[in-house]
Structure 1
């Protein structure tokens, strides 16, 4: 029976990529395909995320190629069974860019997130009013309906920090200049945003540091970046933000560079306690 080609998704590609990483040093693709009763084209398409592979076949293939890391195999098998189009983001398929859709799916599985934006409050900590201002004030051809859809998506994404099971850990570097933004709709937007940041500092899974106004420009001109880490055995993902939804990579050298940049900026940011104290002073109007 001919295998029906499945829609490629970011997690199907990750499943295939992990199977490829495990298989390459242990068995030739031709031998692995033959042992599975497949032709080599079928295996290649599984590895590229074009064909779905069942959890049982993940286990079978891993036994054949000699993978003895059972927890890792079970994690890949779990993700292989993820239904196509599942998740709260399913209704937005085709209404947002594919890069943004991929990022949402990756973020939803992340165990930890490190994020730095040199200009605005990072997305996981934005208030709805702040998001609305950012999206609409300088937008071209953005309808009110689409703006509200994008606000809803941004807010839904933040559920990873408060979910009942394994809430994600967040380390956010917040640029102090962002706290000086002035909005036409009035100061309430920024007051609400600062309150949300202060509330976030009380969450046990959130580390928030302010990058001070006095930081040398060399530390704040690298551009916005996000680092996502996952359960074993998934490799981390680095994302460089852009208006099209970002550029995401698993390439080790690129991810390592982003990790070094994040650590460097974190090293000159204010400590957690001092960051909270300064946020409270902003709320009191002492830095207005």
Structure 2
């Protein structure tokens, strides 16, 4: 079933949110008057319901006294971007709005911190593992939908290897995931282990394994992803769920999840020991 997008794009909402932060304590009606707009129009721009042009962003910021030209230019540039201007455009009406939002955020992120308590985190999954996770999921999808979701997940991994500013990833991987048994055979996990070892060699990837001996409270609250962006965009935290995740820019919530992530990272194996353990699993003594 296709899902028509009933909410504005994540980029438009983030433009509006940044303008709201720059408005500060000024009343929205007073800010609207600076531009000769009515309050309703201004409110809808801040909520991402109405588009604002790059020139209007610059004009408004000048009248608000925002003295940060690089930041203003960045927001003005994003305000001008047409919706769905990315490789994911063909999937706009074929995946949930929350998932589409996450794909766009992930593509724009400078750093990604990701933790999953059960499976290999998405950015580090091998093609066979991706297909296994999607086609064997309890939620039934058609073969065509499954292949579409596999293609999307693999395309998302381009952020790791892109020529211009590849994203920096800090991934916390559960050792328990290496013990999964697949009806398709052990080759899937061997390929996945090779994928993790290759990723650990990348200069923009920090991979830590959460050992089997870790107390179960670490990671018990579920999977999370924390994304940071170039100035002036705020960080976003995403909590995983089957509908594409729940995303927040609320500073208190993001800070809470950062502390949660750091706590799990503190008991995970260091990167070098994690790589050694991956090699041991690949060579077989843990089978």
Q: TM-score, normalised by structure 1?
A: 0.95
Corresponding residue for 1:227?
226
Deviation at 1:218, TM superposition (A): 1.1
Corresponding residue for 2:17?
17
Matched, 1:77 2:76: yes
Corresponding residue for 1:48?
47
Corresponding residue for 1:3?
none
Task: Please give the secondary structure, in 1, of the residue aligned with 2:209.
Answer: strand
Corresponding residue for 2:59?
60
- Residue by residue over 1:124-177, the C-alpha shift from the partner in whole angstroms, topping out at 9 and shown as x without a partner, is 000111011111123343111111100000000111111111111000000000
Which moves more between the two structures, 77-86 or 6-15?
Answer: 6-15
Matched, 1:102 2:95: no
Q: Distance in 2 between matches of 1:51 and 1:254?
A: 27
Between the two proteins, the alignment pairs up a number of residues equal to 282
Corresponding residue for 1:247?
246
Gaps of 5+ in 1: 1-5
Corresponding residue for 2:134?
135
Deviation at 1:284, TM superposition (A): 0.6
Q: Distance in 1 between matches of 2:267 and 2:39?
A: 51
- Residue by residue over 1:83-109, the C-alpha shift from the partner in whole angstroms, topping out at 9 and shown as x without a partner, is 112100110011111111111111111
Task: Please give the secondary structure, in 2, of the residue aligned with 1:244.
Answer: coil
Corresponding residue for 2:3?
none
Which moves more between the two structures, 275-284 or 136-145?
Answer: 136-145
Q: Distance in 2 between matches of 1:61 and 1:7?
A: 24
Which moves more between the two structures, 249-258 or 29-38?
Answer: 29-38
Note closer, same or farther for the CA distance 1:32–1:201 as it changes in structure 2 (3 Å cut): same
Note closer, same or farther for the CA distance 1:31–1:220 as it changes in structure 2 (3 Å cut): closer
Which moves more between the two structures, 140-149 or 221-230?
Answer: 140-149
Q: Distance in 1 between matches of 2:194 and 2:7?
A: 42
Corresponding residue for 1:164?
163
Q: Distance in 2 between matches of 1:151 and 1:221?
A: 27
Corresponding residue for 1:199?
198
Deviation at 1:79, TM superposition (A): 1.0
Q: Distance in 1 between matches of 2:113 and 2:140?
A: 32
Task: Please give the secondary structure, in 1, of the residue aligned with 2:212.
Answer: coil
Task: Please give the secondary structure, in 2, of the residue aligned with 1:227.
Answer: strand
Q: TM-score, normalised by structure 2?
A: 0.96
- Residue by residue over 1:175-219, the C-alpha shift from the partner in whole angstroms, topping out at 9 and shown as x without a partner, is 000011110010110000000000001111000000001001111
Gaps of 5+ in 2: 1-5
Q: Distance in 1 between matches of 2:24 and 2:111?
A: 29
Matched, 1:91 2:73: no
Corresponding residue for 1:36?
35
Task: Please give the secondary structure, in 2, of the residue aligned with 1:238.
Answer: strand
Q: CA RMSD in A?
A: 1.2
Deviation at 1:7, TM superposition (A): 6.7
Task: Please give the secondary structure, in 2, of the residue aligned with 1:172.
Answer: strand
Which moves more between the two structures, 247-256 or 30-39?
Answer: 30-39
